[in-house]
Amino acid sequence: MLINQFLLLAAVLFAIGVYGVLVRRNGVLVLMSIELILNAVNINLVAFGAQHAGASGQVFALFVIAVAAAEVGVGLAIVLLIYRNRRSIDLDQLDEMKG
């Protein structure tokens, strides 16, 4: 089995995710982009796990999915609070930490 296709898919997904994180101004979309990055990694884990014919890759992927769910929960809560405070979730306006 060739794993090139999987790795290419994952790389494309990762690149799209990174792009989304860096460029999108909407907080929710940034979170969704992070999910893309995580899922790219998951594809890699499953693919390498299949190559080595072990279960550990899939187990790891499951952990990542679980942690990602938690992370999204926290992230969405933060975005919600930002929205409540500022009536906007535009990340470009969040520069209070400017030095």
Partner 1 sequence: MLEHVWIIPALMALSFVLILAIGKRTPGKGHFIGIGFVAIAFVLSIVTGAQWISRSGEVAHSQASALRDVDPSCSARAGELAAEGGGHGTEAEAGAHGKARAVVAAEEGEEEHFSQPVVNCVHWFNSGGLEINVGTYLDGQSALMLIVVTFISLLVHVFSTDYVGGDRRYTHYFGFLSLFTASMLFFVLAENTLQMIVGWELVGVCSFALIGHWWEEKPNSDAALKAFLTNRVGDIGLLVGVIILFFAAKGSFNMMDINLAANSPEAAGGISHNLLLISSLCLLAAVMSKSGQFILHTWLPDAMAGPTPVSALIHAATMVVAGIYMVARLYPVFFNGLSIGGSSFNVLALVGSVTGLFGALLGFVQKDIKKTLAYSTVSQLGFMVAALGVGAWTAALFHLFTHAMFKACLFLGAGSLSHGNHHSFNMVDDYGGLRKVMPKTYATYMVGFLSLAGLFPLAGFWSKDEILAGTGGMNDANGSYTFVLVMLLLGAFCTAAYMTRTVWYSFFGEYRGHHHPHESGPLITIPLILLAAMGAIAGFANLPEHFWFGIDFGSLALKFEHYVEPVGAFFPGKEQGFTHAEFNGTLALVATAAGLLGIGLTAAFYTGKLPFLVGLTSRSKVARFFKRILENKYYLDWLYTDVIVNFVKYPLAKATYWFNQNAIDGVVNGAGRSAVGAGRWVYAKIDQGAVDRTVNGVGQVAGATGGELRRFQTGHVQQYAALFFAAAALLAGVIVVVVGG
* DSSP three-state, residue 94: coil
> Minimum distance between the CB of residue 69 and partner 1, rounded to whole angstroms?
21
List C-alpha distances in Å: 77 to 48, 82, 85, 95: 34, 9, 12, 19
> Minimum distance between the CB of residue 17 and partner 1, rounded to whole angstroms?
10
* For partner 1, the closer CB: 50 or 72: 72
> Minimum distance between the CB of residue 73 and partner 1, rounded to whole angstroms?
19
> Minimum distance between the CB of residue 22 and partner 1, rounded to whole angstroms?
5
* For partner 1, the closer CB: 52 or 95: 95
List C-alpha distances in Å: 86 to 21, 79, 94: 21, 10, 10
Check if the beta carbon of residue 45 is closer than 8 Å to that of residue 57: yes
* For partner 1, the closer CB: 84 or 98: 98
The binding site for partner 1 (CB under 8 A) comprises 18, 21-23, 30, 91-92, 94-99
* DSSP three-state, residue 25: coil
